[in-house]
């Protein structure tokens, strides 16, 4: 491996070189963290101690399970709603409605929390609703972009094969872009973790890591905050990996190279 | 050259004009393809449709396919008293689009099931795969195919769907001489699967089109006294290659009359 190669744009490296670069970055980040001059940044030892305390004295495991369950439930509902909306958006009469839903991503939850509280029956429903709303508005926009990016040739192909409008929707849009659904899901599911603290903060009694995070943050327990963030990061990466595995299982064509 | 007759009209372009935002692209285009009958032979029709880039070939292509509507006029197939509809004419686009999420078998079954019951569809697909040397690729996805394999699958998809009229957009584009020859053989093979099969090859490769076609349409535009182009393309010349003794010969390039003919069309092409 030549040094000039790793600093040049658009170079394809072998696996060993890639692993070396990743390892070097991890070492650099770890060293920066360990020897950081910022007094407010907890040291690795403090974070691991906080993680130990959270796990054994504050039921971090149970709170994680609560958050994961909430997240999966919200993502599942949001996926169904978003896909239904995105596919409906191909029908002229619904297109403005779908476009409007996408525009709602600019709204802040600060003013909407009260409305959601009034509309839901309990804390869990409130959390799910907030998360679903936050995910749907982004999911819909991404899916509409995916659908708008379908080349005209694909629709022409369906038409020349005597497919009707609904059949074309199924073949070209729903089946044809199934692999892209997983990519969008990957992004929005990650965003769902970002919104989790907000959603759980709106109904603290339900527990969850978001509640723990809010509490630790409020009391300025930065080591705990960082420990929880690291756990969320690891969980998010696992979630990302699992969605990738599902994508490969459901869409074996997705990662094939273009032509021989 | 065997004796032949041309009677039944298979495709008729009737005064087709097309405007985009007030700009006239096609001006009263007229052309006819008739069923060629040769005693004792199964002989489909192959028309080479040539013209310079950007002249309106693709516009007419889409109108013939029923994918776009003309501003006036119509395209009629099989003597029907109405304009052609999408799905009645097969289309093999330049990049050979296929359903990337389906295997070769899946792509062909999707087409065949439009015409035959499922069991019969499978039998026909398997037979075509064998005939066109694609059996080994039956369970491959389009992304795993070579350009030539992809081309054959795209053509078979349209044939299996039941389209006896097939439009091919630039099938020789970017091919080396060997691949070009293979495509010519493939076009002839598909055309001669049935008497009524008609293939219209849209191309600007005059020699390749002349080698495979029985008729050539040359699309062009008129020029005014100053040599300026008058908007609105139409078919300015039709060449009957059968009458010239230049059709249906797999080794036509060796015919002494072929090169002068290509030269003649080439000179005409320069004025289009």
My answer on whether B143 and B184 are in the same domain is no
Our count of domains for chain B comes to: 2
| Chain A residues inside the 8 Å CB shell of B146 | 259-260
| Chain A residues inside the 8 Å CB shell of B147 | 259
Rounded CA separation A116/A128 (Å): 10
| Chain B residues inside the 8 Å CB shell of A162 | 87, 114, 161
Chain A with chain B: Cβ pairs closer than 8 A: 73
Name the one residue in this structure whose structure tokens are 């802040």. A108
A151, A153, A162: residue with CB nearest B161: A162
| Chain B residues inside the 8 Å CB shell of A171 | 99, 110
Mean pLDDT of chain B: 92
Give how far Cα B189 sits from Cα of A249, B42, B145, B192, Å: 39, 11, 21, 5
Of B162, B184, B204, which marks where a domain is finished? B162
Of chain B residues 105-144, which have a CB less than 8 A from chain A? 110-111, 114, 141-144
- The pLDDT of residue A123: 86
Rounded CA separation B18/B125 (Å): 38
Q: Which DSSP state fits B230? A: P
What three-state secondary structure class fits B217? Answer: strand
Rounded CA separation B34/B10 (Å): 5
Query: Which helix (H) or strand (E) is B201 found in, with range?
Result: strand B198-203
- The pLDDT of residue A198: 84
Beta bridge partners of B225: none
Taking 70 as the threshold, does the pLDDT of residue A257 lie above it?
no
Q: What is the dihedral of CA A115, A118, A121, A125, to 10 degrees?
A: 10
Q: Is residue A183 part of a domain?
A: yes
My answer on whether B154 and B213 are in the same domain is no
Predicted TM-score of the model (pTM): 0.85
Task: Residue A103: count other Cβ atoms within 10 Å of its Cβ.
Answer: 11
Taking 60 as the threshold, does the pLDDT of residue A258 lie above it?
no
Judge whether B174 is closer than 8 Å to chain A, CB to CB: no
What three-state secondary structure class fits A212? Answer: helix
Which residues make Cβ contacts (< 8 Å) with residue B54, sequence separation at least 6?
Answer: none
pLDDT digits (tens, 9 = 90+) for A104-134: 988 877 777 778 888 888 888 999 999 999 9
**How close B101 comes to chain A (CA, Å)?**
6
Asked if the Cβ–Cβ distance from B147 to A259 is below 8 Å, we say: yes
My answer on whether B63 and B108 are in the same domain is no
- The pLDDT of residue B1: 64
| Chain A residues inside the 8 Å CB shell of B106 | none
What percent of chain A clears pLDDT 70, i.e. is strictly above it? 98
My answer on whether B84 and B109 are in the same domain is no
My answer on whether B17 and B40 are in the same domain is yes
Question: Nearest CA to B137 among A249, A176, A251, A256?
Answer: A256
Q: Which CATH number belongs to the domain containing residue A185 in this structure?
A: 1.10.3720.10
- The pLDDT of residue A260: 39
Rounded CA separation B261/B246 (Å): 9
My answer on whether B214 and B244 are in the same domain is yes
- The pLDDT of residue B213: 95
Its domain, for residue A95, covers 43-250
pLDDT digits (tens, 9 = 90+) for A170-216: 999 999 999 999 999 999 999 998 888 888 888 887 888 888 888 88
Mutate to test the interface with A, among B65, B87, B158 (most CBs of A within 10 A): B87
Q: At what angle do helices A60-88 and A178-201 cross, to 10 degrees?
A: 130
My answer on whether B265 and B175 are in the same domain is yes
Q: Which DSSP state fits A150? A: S
Asked if the Cβ–Cβ distance from A258 to B143 is below 8 Å, we say: yes
Query: Which helix (H) or strand (E) is B32 found in, with range?
Result: strand B23-38
pLDDT digits (tens, 9 = 90+) for B95-121: 899 999 999 999 999 999 999 999 999
Q: Which CATH number belongs to the domain containing residue B42 in this structure?
A: 3.40.50.300
Mean pLDDT of chain A: 91
Our count of domains for chain A comes to: 1
Rounded CA separation A72/A80 (Å): 12
Taking 80 as the threshold, does the pLDDT of residue A149 lie above it?
yes
| Nearest residue in A to B90, CA atom | A160
Of B111, B128, B162, which marks where a domain is finished? B162
Rounded CA separation B13/B64 (Å): 8
**How close B217 comes to chain A (CA, Å)?**
23
Rounded CA separation A213/A206 (Å): 13
Do residues A186 and A240 lie in contact, with contact meaning Cβ atoms separated by under 8 Å?
A: yes
Mutate to test the interface with A, among B89, B136, B143, B159 (most CBs of A within 10 A): B143
My answer on whether B75 and B175 are in the same domain is yes
My answer on whether B148 and B173 are in the same domain is no
Q: Which DSSP state fits B249? A: -
Of B124, B143, B162, which marks where a domain is finished? B162
Judge whether B179 is closer than 8 Å to chain A, CB to CB: no
A163, A253, A260: residue with CB nearest B100: A253
pLDDT digits (tens, 9 = 90+) for B170-192: 999 888 888 888 889 999 999 99
Cα atoms in the 13 Å half-sphere on the side-chain side of A25: 6
Rounded CA separation B235/B216 (Å): 10
Rounded CA separation B32/B27 (Å): 16
- The pLDDT of residue A72: 93
Q: Is residue A31 part of a domain?
A: no
Asked if the Cβ–Cβ distance from B97 to A260 is below 8 Å, we say: no
Q: Which DSSP state fits B21? A: T
- The pLDDT of residue A259: 40
My answer on whether B141 and B21 are in the same domain is no
pLDDT digits (tens, 9 = 90+) for A19-41: 999 999 999 999 998 888 888 88
What three-state secondary structure class fits B151? Answer: helix
Do residues B108 and A168 lie in contact, with contact meaning Cβ atoms separated by under 8 Å?
A: no
Asked if the Cβ–Cβ distance from A157 to B86 is below 8 Å, we say: no
**How close B188 comes to chain A (CA, Å)?**
22
Rounded average pLDDT over A91-110: 91
Sheet bearing B4-20, strands edge to edge: B23-38, B4-20, B72-77
- The pLDDT of residue A1: 63
| Chain A residues inside the 8 Å CB shell of B111 | 161
| Chain A residues inside the 8 Å CB shell of B163 | 160
Question: Nearest CA to A139 among A77, A82, A177, A100?
Answer: A82
- The pLDDT of residue A204: 80
My answer on whether B104 and B85 are in the same domain is no
Mutate to test the interface with B, among A149, A151, A157 (most CBs of B within 10 A): A157
Question: Nearest CA to B111 among B173, B176, B161, B163?
Answer: B161
Mutate to test the interface with A, among B64, B66, B69, B86 (most CBs of A within 10 A): B86
Asked if the Cβ–Cβ distance from B101 to A157 is below 8 Å, we say: no
Rounded CA separation A199/A124 (Å): 10
Q: Which residues of chain B have pLDDT under 50?
A: none
- The pLDDT of residue A231: 93
My answer on whether B155 and B168 are in the same domain is no
Q: Is residue A7 part of a domain?
A: no
Taking 70 as the threshold, does the pLDDT of residue A76 lie above it?
yes
Its domain, for residue B122, covers 94-162
């Amino acid at each position: 491996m030549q040094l000039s190669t790793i600093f040049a744009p658009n170079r394809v490296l072998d696996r060993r070189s890639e692993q070396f670069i990743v390892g070097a970055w991890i070492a650099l980040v770890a060293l920066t963290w360990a020897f950081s001059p910022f007094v407010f940044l907890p040291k690795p030892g403090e974070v691991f101690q906080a993680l130990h305390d959270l796990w054994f004295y504050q039921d971090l495991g149970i709170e994680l399970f609560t958050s994961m369950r909430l997240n999966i439930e919200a993502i599942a509902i949001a996926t169904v709603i978003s896909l239904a909306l995105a596919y409906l958006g191909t029908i002229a009469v619904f297109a403005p409605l779908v476009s409007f839903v996408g525009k709602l991503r600019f709204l802040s939850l600060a003013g909407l929390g009260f409305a959601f509280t009034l509309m839901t029956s309990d804390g869990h429903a409130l959390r799910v609703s907030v998360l679903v709303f936050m995910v749907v508005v982004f999911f819909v926009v991404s899916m509409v972009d995916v659908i708008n990016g379908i080349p005209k040739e694909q629709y022409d192909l369906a038409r020349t094969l005597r497919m009707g409008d609904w059949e074309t929707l199924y073949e070209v849009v729903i089946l044809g872009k199934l692999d892209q659904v997983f990519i969008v899901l990957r992004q929005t599911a990650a965003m769902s973790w970002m919104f989790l603290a907000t959603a759980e903060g709106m109904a603290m009694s339900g527990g969850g890591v978001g509640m723990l995070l809010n509490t630790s943050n409020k009391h300025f327990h930065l080591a705990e905050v960082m420990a929880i963030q690291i756990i969320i990061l690891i969980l998010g990466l696992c979630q990302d990996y699992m969605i990738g595995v599902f994508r490969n299982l459901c869409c074996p064509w997705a990662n094939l190279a273009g032509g021989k | 050259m065997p004796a032949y007759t041309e009677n039944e009209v298979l495709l008729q372009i009737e005064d087709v004009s097309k405007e985009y935002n007030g700009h006239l692209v096609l001006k009263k285009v007229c052309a006819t393809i008739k069923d060629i009958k040769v005693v004792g032979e199964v002989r489909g029709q192959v028309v080479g449709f040539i013209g310079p880039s950007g002249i309106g070939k693709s516009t007419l292509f889409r109108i013939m396919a029923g994918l776009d509507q003309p501003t006036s006029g119509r395209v009629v197939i099989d003597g029907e008293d109405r304009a052609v509809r999408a799905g009645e004419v097969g289309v093999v686009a330049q990049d050979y689009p296929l359903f990337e999420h389906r295997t070769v078998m899946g792509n062909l079954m999707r087409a065949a099931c439009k015409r035959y019951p499922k069991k019969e569809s499978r039998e026909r697909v398997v037979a075509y795969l064998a005939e066109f040397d694609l059996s080994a690729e039956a369970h491959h996805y389009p992304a795993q195919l070579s350009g030539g394999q992809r081309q054959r699958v795209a053509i078979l998809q349209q044939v299996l769907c039941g389209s006896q009229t097939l439009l091919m957009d630039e099938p020789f584009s970017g091919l080396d001489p060997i691949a070009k020859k293979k495509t010519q053989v493939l076009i002839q093979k598909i055309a001669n699967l049935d008497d009524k099969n008609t293939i219209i090859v849209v191309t600007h490769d005059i020699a390749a089109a002349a080698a495979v076609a029985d008729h050539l349409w040359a699309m062009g535009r008129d020029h005014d006294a100053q040599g300026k182009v008058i908007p609105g393309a139409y078919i300015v010349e039709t060449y009957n290659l059968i009458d010239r003794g230049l059709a249906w010969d797999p080794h036509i390039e060796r015919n002494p009359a072929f090169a002068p003919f290509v030269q003649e069309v080439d000179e005409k092409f320069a004025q289009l």
